[in-house]
A and B are shown apart, each in its own frame.
Chain A
Amino acid sequence: MAAGPAPPPGRPRAQMPHLRKMERVVVSMQDPDQGVKMRSQRLLVTVIPHAVTGSDVVQWLTQKFCISEEEALHLGAVLVQHGYIYPLRDPRSLVLRPDETPYRFQTPYFWTSTLWPAAELDYAIYLAKKNIRKQGTLADYEKECYDRLHTKISHAWDLVLMQAREQLRAAKQRRKGDRLVIACQEQTYWLVNRPPPGAPSVLEQGPGRGSCAASRVHMTKSTDFYKQEIEYCRRAMGRTRVKSSVCLEAYLSFCGQRGPHDPLVSGCLPSNPWISDDDAYWVMNAPTVAAPTKLRVERWGFSFRELLEDPVGRAHFVDFLGKEFSGENLSFWEACEELRYGAQAQVPTLVDAVYQQFLAPGAARWVNIDSRTMERTLEGLRQPHRYVLDDAQLHIYMALSAHALPTLTLSQGSAFPTWLGPPWPLSCQCSVLSTHRVQRRRTGPDHMLKKGQVSI
C-alpha cells in the first residue's frame, strides 16, 4: 500500500503499551497446543479454515486468566473492538457474541500497531474498490468520506482508481475463500480506523502528550541534567529511612482503626444515603449537631487533626481549653493557619496583627513558646512572609495535642449509635484512654512526629 501523509498529532505508537499486550494475548490464543480450538467454518459454499467460535474465545480467556465469564466476555469484546479478532459472518459490527458465531484472528499486517496511522490514500483506494465492486453500494457515511476524499486528493485520483482496479484484478485470481478472508480483514481494519458515526473510536487518545517536551528534553540531556540527578542522589543517600516492617505494620493498624468508620468497607448506620435515598446519615453527622454519634467521637481520639477538623470536636476543645488552659494557644494556631493559606496581599497585615496579639512582650494573649523558637520567630518577623510563623505554630501545635488528647475521655457506656449525655469529665482517669494512648505509641511514630522534634 502506498505511504500516506504525515501522522496526525497524538501519541506515537510506542506509547500505547496496551496494544502490544493485546497482541501478546492474541498470539498466545493462536498457539497450536495451548491456544483456542480452531476449526474450519463453512460459509455458504466456501470453507474457511482456522476459525474459532465466540464461546470458545470466552472459555479460553476465562481459563487462562482465572477470571469470571463476564470479565472474559468484556476482554474478548475489547479485542474484537480493536480489530484483533474479526467476525466472519457480519463484519459490519465488531461485537463478540459468546455463541457459535465464527471469528478469525486478524493478520499482523493489519494490526493497529503495524499499520498506524491509517493513510488517507489507502482509505480512498479501499472505498474506490468497494464502489467499483458492489456497483456503488457504499454506506452513507462512506459515501460522504468518499466525496470528501475526492475533493481533497483530486490530484491523485487517477492513481487511486488505478490502484483500486489493479487490486481487484489481483484478487480475482485468488481462491474464493482467500478473497473472502482478505475482504473481511480489510473491512475490519477500516472499521477500527474509520469508525462509522456513532460508534466510539477506540484509537482516540486525547491531546498529545509528552511528544514535544520529551523530544526537547532528550536533545538537551546536558551536564546540568546529570548534575541535578547527582545532587538529588547524594541528598537522597543521606536521608533517614524506616524499616519496611515498621511502615507496613503502620498500614495494618491504620486500616484496622479506621475500618469501622469506612462506609464502603463496613457500611454505615442508619443507611448509606446513596443506597437508600435517605439522607438521615448526613443529617445525623452534619457539621454542627447537638449530639455527635459515638463513631464520630471515637474519631476525635485518633489524631489531633481529626479533632480540629470536626467543628463539634473543635467547639468542645475550645470549651475545654477555656476551663483548664487559656484559649490563646488555639487562637494563635488558627491565626497561623490563616496566614499560611491566606491571600498574598494580606501577609504583612496578618503578621503584624499576630505579633501584636500573641508575641509582643506584654501582649494581651501572649503565647508561651520556648525562648529559642521565640528568638528565631522574632528575627524572622523583620522580613515577614507566609511561613515565618511555622516554627512557633508547630511548637504550639505539639503542646496542644500533647495536653489535649490524654485528658479527653470517651464515654464508653453510651447508647449506640448516638451519644447522649453531659460533656466529658475533664480528668485523665479513664483506663480505656490510657490503653488507647499506649496503643498509639506501639504502632510506631505518629505521622505528626515525622520531623522527630517533639516526643509526647
Chain B
Amino acid sequence: MCDQTFLANVFGSCDKCFKQRALRPVFKKSQQLSYCSTCAEIMATEALHENETLASLKSEAENLKGKLEEERAKLHDVELHQVAERVEALGQFVMKTRRTLKGHGNKVLCMDWCKDKRRIVSSSQDGKVIVWDSFTTNKEHAVTMPCTWVMACAYAPSGCAIACGGLDNKCSVYPLTFDKNENMAAKKKSVAMHTNYLSACSFTNSDMQILTASGDGTCALWDVESGQLLQSFHGHGADVLCLDLAPSETGNTFVSGGCDKKAMVWDMRSGQCVQAFETHESDINSVRYYPSGDAFASGSDDATCRLYDLRADREVAIYSKESIIFGASSVDFSLSGRLLFAGYNDYTINVWDVLKGSRVSILFGHENRVSTLRVSPDGTAFCSGSWDHTLRVWA
C-alpha cells in the first residue's frame, strides 16, 4: 500500500452564496471565511480587477498631473525677479529687539497679536498661556491648560477672548476678564474636538467662529457658542500644520499647509479644495497670505520659503540661500507685502525682499529655534517666539 494524501473536504453553506457546497478556506482582510469553489474563483478575479484598476488609476492620475503642469506652464511668461528689476532696491535695514518678554517657563510655541496693536497672547510647552501688554512688557492674564505642548493660540477680533489648544486635541476659548476674583479657567469653553493634536487655530471675522487645523489631517470650522462643527475640510494626506484666512472681504477662503508637502486653498462655504500646490520638498510649517489676498507664502523644513500666486495658479518665487540649512518655522509679510520675515530652526530670522527675491537682513538674538513669528496689525513691529522661553518684539 502506498502513502495516500487525503484532502479533507468540508461541506457546508458558503459564506457568500449560501449554497451547500464543498468549501475552501479563504482570507479576506485577515479574516478567515469559507467559500465554495465558484465564489473563490470569482473573488480571485475580482482582486485581479481591483489591482489593475488601481494601477491604471495611478497612471491616469500621473498623466493628468503632468498635463496640468503643462497647462500652468503655458501662461508663465516671465519671472518675478525679472519684473522686479525696475523696482528700487531697499536700503540697509537695522532691526533690533525692542522688547523681550520673559515669563514662560518653557518653550514658546505660538503667539498672536490683538487688534489693539500692543497686546499679545502666547502659549508654551508647559501648558501656560499668557496675555501680555508687550509695550510695557506686563503680563495681564495667565491660564494653565490641562495639557502640555499648547501649539496653537489666537486672539479674538474683539480682544475679549483667546483660543488655544494642543496635545489635548481640543480648542478651548477663554473669555478675558479683568475681575481679579474670577478664575479664567472657570469660564473656559471647549469648542473643537479633533482626533489628533491641534496645530493651528484662528478666529474668522468675529468672535463666534473658529477655524482649526489638526494633526488628524483635517481642518474644521466651528461655532463657538454651541461647539457645533459647521464645516470640515478633508484632503490633506498627513498632519495639517498651519492655516491662514484670506484678507479678501468678498472671498471665503483660507489656505492650509501640511506634512504632505501640499498647500491647499479651501472654500469655507462648500468645504472643497479649490487649489493645491505641491512644490515643497518637506513639511510646510507655516502659510501666510500676501496682504492683497492674491498670493500666499509658505515656510518649510526644506529651508525655503515660497510664494504662490492664486490667479496664475503656480509658484512664482523661491526664497532660499545655500547658507540657510534649517527649516523655516513661521513666515509673515510686512504691511505692504514688500518684506517677508521668516523665523528658522537655526535660531535666526531672515528678512527677504519679496519682489527681488534676495535676502535683506539676518537677525540674531534668540538662543534656540524660532517657533512663531507675527507682524503687528499696524505693521510697526513684529514679534517672534522661541524655544529659548522668550518672545522678542523687533522694529
Contact = CB atoms under 8 A, between A and B. Distances in A.
Interface string B10-30: 000000000000000000000
Contacts of B225: 343-345
A233 B61 contact: yes
B80 to A, nearest CB: 5
A244 B335 contact: no
A1 interface: no
A230 B64 contact: yes
A387 interface: yes
Contacts of A340: 205
Contact of A397 (B250, B321, B327): B250
Given A22-B325, A282-B117, A341-B208, A241 B336 contact: no
A170 interface: no
A274 interface: yes
A126 to B, nearest CB: 26
B302 A17 contact: yes
Contacts of A274: 98-99, 135, 380-381, 393, 395
A213 B325 contact: no
B179 interface: no
Contact of A75 (B309, B313, B323, B355): B323
A249 B249 CA distance: 22
Interface string A309-351: 0000000000000000000000000000100111111000000
A448 B387 CA distance: 40
Nearest to A226: B57
Given A207-B149, A248-B83, A272-B381, A223 B395 contact: no
A229 B395 CA distance: 44
Contacts of A225: 237
Chain A to chain B: the 10 pairs with minimum beta-carbon distance, closest first = A258-B336, A210-B259, A262-B336, A233-B64, A341-B206, A65-B323, A344-B223, A274-B395, A226-B57, A242-B311
Interface of A is mostly: helix
Interface stretch (B1-9, B31-39, B71-79, B138-146): B71-79
Nearest to A20: B325
Interface extent on A, as a size class? 35 or more
Interface string A355-392: 00000000000000000000000000000000100100
Interface in B85-107: 87, 90, 95, 98-99
Given A343-B224, A344-B223, A232 B273 contact: yes
29 contacts: A15-B301, A209-B215, A209-B241, A217-B260, A223-B50, A229-B65, A230-B60, A230-B61, A232-B273, A236-B68, A239-B313, A241-B75, A248-B83, A248-B84, A252-B84, A255-B336, A255-B337, A262-B334, A262-B379, A264-B339, A272-B380, A274-B99, A274-B380, A341-B206, A342-B208, A344-B226, A344-B228, A447-B292, A451-B250
B335 A258 contact: yes
A272 B83 contact: no
A410 B165 CA distance: 46
Given A275-B98, A343-B225, A447-B292, A17 B275 contact: no
Nearest to A212: B196
B261 to A, nearest CB: 10
A74 B311 contact: no
A18 B283 contact: no
Contacts of B322: 65
A287 to B, nearest CB: 9
A450 B367 CA distance: 44
B312 interface: yes
Interface in A52-108: 61, 65, 67-68, 70-72, 74-75, 78
Interface in A168-212: 200, 204, 206-207, 209-210, 212
A251 interface: yes
Interface string B226-249: 101010000101110100000111
B67 interface: yes
B250 A448 contact: yes
